[in-house]
């Protein structure tokens, strides 16, 4: 399936809402294995996205993803801003053809994350959610269970990247905050498609 602009706008709007409503949850997850500010940072990004869309309504999918990318890069601190920014910027560049299937689009975002973070699946990062979601979307099988399973699998991993990697074995049993915010992103996508 391909995303229409109205659906994609709904997707990002729902994501913004989830970030704003779950700031405390994300901060709590980050307090366990990071520096405790992922929720605050992501909320700042959410507010920046809203402000950017209010200033200039995106007229194409490429515009939508690019505006989202720059809002994240400029306002979200830590590694998350550049990572989300890279994923959405790569999606924006790829979307110029308007012929992209959803699974391919998400895979392009995932590949951007891998490149930018020099990471891959199994390192207890947001990629552990993005990759299975991309694969499920390619097979038209994206649902809540895919997201829940990815989060559960990631929880059992030992972090080898980012601040959580300093904790080594102690990082096991905790949900990576970037994985949780990514779960909100894809839950929002499912809701937008369903709507």
Mean pLDDT of 96-124: 93
State how far the Cα of 135 lies from the Cα of 106, in Å rounded to an integer.
9
Token couple for 128 = 């552990």
Distance between first and last Cα of the chain:
15
- Give pLDDT tens digits for 5-22: 999 999 999 999 999 999
Spatial CA neighbour of 113 closest among 22, 178, 166, 21: 178
Instruction: Report whether pLDDT(132) > 60.
Output: yes
pTM (2 d.p.): 0.96
- Domains of the chain, start order: 5-194 (1.25.40.340)
Please give the structure tokens belonging to residue 142. 């994206």
pLDDT digits (tens, 9 = 90+) for 48-71: 999 999 999 999 999 999 999 999
pLDDT at residue 119 greater than cutoff 90: yes
Provide the pLDDT for residue 165. Answer: 87
pLDDT for res 98: 57
Residue 23 in this model has a pLDDT that exceeds 60: yes
């Amino acid at each position: 399936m391909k995303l229409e602009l109205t659906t994609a706008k709904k997707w990002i709007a729902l994501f913004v809402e989830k970030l704003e409503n779950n700031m405390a949850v994300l901060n709590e997850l980050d307090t366990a294995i990071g520096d405790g500010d992922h929720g605050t940072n992501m909320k700042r990004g959410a507010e920046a996205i809203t402000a950017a869309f209010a200033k200039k309504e995106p007229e194409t999918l490429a515009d939508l993803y690019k505006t989202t990318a720059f809002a994240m890069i400029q306002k979200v601190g830590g590694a998350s801003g550049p990572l989300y920014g890279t994923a959405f910027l790569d999606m924006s560049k790829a979307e110029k053809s308007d012929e992209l299937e959803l699974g391919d689009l998400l895979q392009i975002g995932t590949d951007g994350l891998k490149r930018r973070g020099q990471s891959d699946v199994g390192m207890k990062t947001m990629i552990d959610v993005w990759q299975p979601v991309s694969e499920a979307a390619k097979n038209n099988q994206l649902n809540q269970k895919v997201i829940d399973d990815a989060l559960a699998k990631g929880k059992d991993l030992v972090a080898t990247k980012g601040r959580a990697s300093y904790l080594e074995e102690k990082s096991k049993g905790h949900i990576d905050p970037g994985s949780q915010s990514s779960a909100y992103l894809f839950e929002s996508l499912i809701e937008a498609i369903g709507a």
